[in-house]
Amino acid sequence: MEKAVYNETHQHILGQINNLDIFKVIDGDLAPIKKLAQRFSDCSTVLVLGTGGSSLGGKCLVNFQANMTGTTPRIVFIENVDSLSFKNTINKCDPARTGIVVISKSGRTTETLMTFLTLCEIWKNFDYQNRAIAITELSDNNDLRQIANSLNMEIVEHNPRIGGRFSVFSVVGLLPALLGNVDIDTFTRAAKKILDEVKENAGAKTFSDAYEMYDKAFKNGLINQHVIMPYSDMLEDYTKWAVQLISESLGKSEDFGITPIRAVGTVDQHSMLQLFLGGPANKFYTIILARNNAPTAPIAPALCGKVLEHLKGHTINELMYAHAKATIQVLKAKAPVRVLEYDKINIATLGELMAKNFIEVLVIAHLANVNPFDQPSVEESKRLALQYLNSPKGK
């Protein structure tokens, strides 16, 4: 580790924490979001229409809360232009007790515009003025804004300086989260704690881990995949969010790139662990686990058996923890492994993890000399999709 490069990188990150809106909103006023949420207080269902960064953060938070509490969320995300799942979702809703949140930073996301306009065709008499809002940039060249204005919908500004994949701590992520009963105060407070630690100390673990991740794993290109494997069902949607953040932020060069891979323990031990252990040694692993989780009674099987003798007297969580520790041990014999271990996984844990991921991506982007905020390579695909849509059938 070169001390001069380490210190220069830390100074760069301090400048970004102090100047970028993706970090400023973490310490922002939550009162406007809480007031906005009151609009939907009488809704049994709130549809959130958006895709990619417009949905993954909020969906992660909502589903995390639902898994943690064992409840069914009233927030339903419509992300894809799959006509069957769209119709099935809409048919379950009572328009009189449904709210709508449409999210697109540019206001030109084809999937979001298509699903929203299709919904407008189905619900022609819906009270869009009082039961729907659009979150989008306040720009002129904005199709969603035009639609919202034509329906007298309230328009909430999507901060133009915050890209979708960095928007989870803004209204984009926090409004759906709040509507899904997430404690957004605790969530943002935990994230701020991480940022404060990085600002106060160049040796803060979040920063040093990020630097070493690049310096010892990704720098020479031999390791170019990052396996994110939480031992918790609550974090499955978190892995989807992290995959987008890493892919879109760091995939900018043929000479450097990190392919994120989602896995959830213990399930994916039975589908991917063979590859991890027997396949190419080109992976870095982040394992996330909790020492304690929901308590269950230790089992006392009446029968005897080779495996039952080991399980006897133990709980589900003890078995999960044992599998995690065993997987960590065998992986470390082959590859670099980072372990993030918590006493319990809760909403504060999620705030810490997401703030850590922001720091990690920006540190690696700086050291690899890539711009983490743009995504130029996908524009051609978007252009071609519109061209195919309007071409003669079969062409």
- pLDDT at residue 235 greater than cutoff 80: yes
265 in Cβ contact with 323 (< 8 Å): yes
Q: How many helices (H) and strands (E) does the chain have?
A: 17, 9
68 in Cβ contact with 346 (< 8 Å): yes
Strands in the chain per DSSP E: 45-49, 75-78, 98-103, 132-136, 154-157, 225-230, 259-262, 283-290, 337-342
Average pLDDT of the chain to the nearest whole number: 95
- pLDDT at residue 93 greater than cutoff 70: yes
Residue 100, φ and ψ in degrees, nearest 5: -130, 130
The position carrying tokens 């070169």 is: 2
With cut-offs at 50, 70 and 90, classify the pLDDT of residue 393.
low
How far from chain centre, in Å, is Cα 231?
17
- pLDDT at residue 5 greater than cutoff 70: yes
Q: Provide the pLDDT for residue 1.
A: 56
CA distance 206 to 359: 7
- pLDDT at residue 338 greater than cutoff 70: yes
- pLDDT at residue 10 greater than cutoff 80: yes
Interval 196-223: pLDDT, tens: 999 999 899 999 999 999 999 999 889 9
Q: pTM above the 0.85 mark?
A: yes
Q: Provide the pLDDT for residue 110.
A: 96
Burial letters 137-168, b for 16+ CB under 10 A, else e: beeeebbbbebbeeeebebbebbeebbbbbbb
CA distance 201 to 193: 12
CA distance 286 to 295: 25
CA distance 12 to 176: 32
Residue 229: CB atoms within 10 A of its CB come to 27
- pLDDT at residue 35 greater than cutoff 60: yes
Share of the chain above pLDDT 90, in %: 86
**What DSSP assignment string belongs to 208-258?**
HHHHHHIIIIITTSS--EEEEEES-GGGHHHHHHHHHHHHHHH---SS---
What domains are defined for the chain?
Answer: 3-184 (3.40.50.10490), 203-368 (3.40.50.10490)
The position carrying tokens 């799942």 is: 85
Closest C-alpha to 5, from 216, 215, 247:
215
What would the two tokens of residue 12 be? Answer: 């760069």
Q: Mean of the pLDDT values across residues 350-377?
A: 95
Closest C-alpha to 101, from 189, 174, 11:
174
The position carrying tokens 């252009």 is: 383
336 in Cβ contact with 173 (< 8 Å): no
